[in-house]
Structure 1
Amino acid sequence: MKLSYLTQPMCDQERSERLFSGELLIYRQIPAMLELIEQADARLRTALGGLEPDTAQHHLGRDEFLDRTGQVQTAFRKDPAMRALFFDVLKQCGVDISRTSYDHFPMRIVPFANSHDGAQRAAIGHHRDSWGSNIHCQQNWWAPLYTLEPQRSITFYPAYWHQPLANNTAQWRFSDYLASRKQSESERAVEYPSAPGPAEPVDESEAVQIMLNPGDVLNFASAHLHASAVNTTDKTRFSVEMRTISDHDLQSERFAPNVDNLGEPPMYAWFKSITTLQPLVVTEAREPVCQIEPH
């Protein structure tokens, strides 16, 4: 797996070709990302009564911590100004936003240890994003809000770029997840998994923890196997993320390989145009079909 650090924007075609060959891209010190961090930090500090967000967990009980941070997550996710700032991040990375669709823009909060578990958007286990969306030209964007440590970051598994991993994509259903989410409290954990997962152990011997500085943005393909690093530090991890699809890739049928995903159909309905907010409608793109047998 090649990891590249970029200080200049990259055009859509080159970005896609590099991501869909297994490369990871990190854009350094994006001005709009630094502005977004400043605003997100102010919101968190206000909600947490002036506490340092990444150490507030030491001072608040589980329910109070989840309630306060959950309110920030909800407001953040619904705020068009925050999304607009991240669209500026994409533009500063070279994305043609007039030809790009996105699905959502959440803040993810991963507490340390397990005393404050219970949030909906917390740690997530081993997965490829393509397992849930069934879209192999999807790109992921991920950025920390505070300084990271290897045990408080995001982990990738380069050996699985071409290697299948047994999973439950053939059985998982988004409709079942939605039904379970309706029965859960706002911003709290959902009983049904939010995405398919492995059906066999993952080899951790070649795991790579990606390190970024606040202001950096990680860009990877939906086919990359990854997971939240197990947070064994004494600080909470805060990050933001977005998933995008480029019209250029759909029209040119540029996709990452599908080595183990048996899910269907592609969930294009999750996405809408950044500039017009119209739902993404795809009628001709041929997603790569996995040839393995279901487990």
Structure 2
Amino acid sequence: MSVILSNSRVNDDARRRMLFQGDVFLYGATPASSKLIEFARELTEEAFGNRDPQTAQHEMPVEEFAALLAELKPRFIHHPTCKKLLPAVMDELGMSQDETYFDVPRLRTSTSDHYLDSGISYAYHPHRDCWYAAPFCQVNWWIPVYEVVQENVFALHPQYFDKPVRNGSGRYDYADWTAVSRPEAAKHIHSDTRDQPKPEEEVDLETDQLRLVPEPGGIMMFSGAHLHSTVANTSGRTRFSIDFRTVHIDDVETRRSAPNVDATCRGTTLRDFYRASDLERIPERLAAEYEAEALAKVT
């Protein structure tokens, strides 16, 4: 059973242990997370011009909307301001800058009524990040940019946290994905033909479904091993949110993590992580070890 903790004061070591057991943490907006969403709004509203980004889908051809996002999202992802603000958010929640590593923040969108569910605004089927070669010590962060409602957030499916789901992760290789499939996202407008790890058996998405609705700038933290999915957006508004991921170097070294119940993918995302204190990459030795361990499990 997953427990939801609101504005918990447990230290980071205890929090990670609880996250690896399936618990979920929810925090109100902090000064740094508020600055992060303000920056995201600034870039987004500049890109959409005189249109409200949340309702612009009702005024634009879908191809134009997708092309706009294809320019906006990389601009946000790689902007140096984000690399300054994310460590500040982590610091406010008591995380060690020298021991915590993070990947680049993604600006996500979920459009309403299936306007754009593919490619650059992909509506995620049920999945674990660990099916996509994420380490099982990964912590996922999710922050809404504007106000969200239960009809446009995403759902966790905690009954599957320690229950295997037959899936297609065995066909997934992270190196191939980053070289070929990820750069093609913007080309997929009306459908998405990229082979992504999905359940290959029926899963119950309604029983025990968990939807949390943080305030703008509020923070949700959960294990990358949780099964989660995009909620079918029926709100009439496009949802904008930020997500990124963190790992603690001690967890990476010792393999302290959530359980792997069903992932058989190849590769590792560890090379995508930067140390919060100085933006150094995670040691290559560790990434190579994780790659070798993943390969050994599938050969």
Q: How many residues of Structure 1 are paired with residues of Structure 2 in the alignment?
A: 289
CA apart distance, 1:285? 7.8
Q: Secondary structure at the match of 1:170?
A: helix
What is aligned with 1:31? 31
What is aligned with 1:279? 281
Distance 1:174 1:248, change over 3 A: closer
TM-score by length of 2: 0.87
The 5-angstrom pairing of residues 10-25 of structure 1 reads 10-25=10-25
- Residue among 249, 252, 257 paired with 1:250: 252
Stretches of 4+ aligned residues off by more than 4 angstroms: 185-190, 282-287
CA apart distance, 1:203? 0.5
- Tell me if the contact between 1:140 and 1:219 (Cα under 8 Å) persists in the aligned partners: yes
Q: CA RMSD in A?
A: 2.6
Distance 1:153 1:3, change over 3 A: same
What is aligned with 2:84? 84
Q: Secondary structure at the match of 1:98?
A: coil
For residues 65-95 of structure 1, give each alpha carbon's deviation from its aligned partner in whole angstroms, at most 9, with x where no partner exists.
2222332212111101023112211111121
What is aligned with 1:2? 3
Structure 2 unaligned runs (5+)? none
What is aligned with 1:231? 233
2:176 matches 1:176: yes
TM-score by length of 1: 0.88
Higher mean C-alpha deviation, range 274-283 or range 151-160: 274-283
Q: Secondary structure at the match of 1:120?
A: helix
For residues 123-177 of structure 1, give each alpha carbon's deviation from its aligned partner in whole angstroms, at most 9, with x where no partner exists.
2111111111241111111111111111200100011011111111222222332
CA distance in 1, matches of 2:177, 2:266: 15
What is aligned with 1:263? 265
* Structure with the bigger percentage of helix: 2
- Tell me if the contact between 1:107 and 1:121 (Cα under 8 Å) persists in the aligned partners: no
Letter in 2 for 1:3: I
Higher mean C-alpha deviation, range 225-234 or range 257-266: 257-266
CA apart distance, 1:121? 4.3
What is aligned with 2:73? 73
The 5-angstrom pairing of residues 175-194 of structure 1 reads 175-181=175-181, 184=184, 186=186, 191-193=193-195
- Tell me if the contact between 1:74 and 1:187 (Cα under 8 Å) persists in the aligned partners: no
What is aligned with 2:142? 142
2:201 matches 1:200: yes
For residues 91-120 of structure 1, give each alpha carbon's deviation from its aligned partner in whole angstroms, at most 9, with x where no partner exists.
111211211112221101111122334442
Structure 1 unaligned runs (5+)? none
Higher mean C-alpha deviation, range 120-129 or range 234-243: 120-129
What is aligned with 1:128? 128
CA distance in 2, matches of 1:49, 1:267: 35
